Amino acid sequence: MVSDHSAQQAACTADLGQVLVVAASPINRIVLSRIAERAYLKASAMEPGEAGRTLAAAAARDRSPGLVIVDMDAALGNAGSLIDLLSALRSASPRRLPLVIGVVSSCETATLPALQFDATVVRPVTPETLQPVIERLIAGARG
């Protein structure tokens, strides 16, 4: 787990030009990354276990992404540790960074804790549904 001090440093220096895409499916990682790149963000895509380790390491090096897109599909399994890490980073940041977008099925929207996500996008994800959400959140964080 990330210490409060390193989480605060990372959250304060989160780069709003970078996005981390977390999905169990390689195809979903590619699709979500391409949509984020259309919003002029530099995308990194990882599976959930790797993403948790990368976020923890990024927090220690003060290089956190400004946005994280989490695909909450059934293959994601237990994403509790990843969500806990994101919550710790956000809690330590005065600007509540990184921003978090959850990609969910229509059945999951009622069961997700609202505090974990800045926005949710319901499948199927298209550039027309996700890109405006990304742009709105980034503009709000910069403004």
Identify the H or E element spanning 135: helix 127-142
Structural domain of residue 15, as residue ranges?
4-142
What pTM was estimated for this model as a whole? 0.85
**DSSP 3-state of 51:** helix
Identify the H or E element spanning 58: helix 48-61
Question: Mean pLDDT lowest for which of 4-8, 40-44, 48-52, 109-113?
Answer: 4-8
Q: What is the CATH number of the domain that holds 70?
A: 3.40.50.2300
| pLDDT over 60 at 32, yes or no | yes
Which DSSP state fits 24? S
At 111, the pLDDT band (50, 70, 90 cuts) reads low
Structural domain count of the chain: 1
Closest CA to 37 of 69, 10, 72, 13: 69
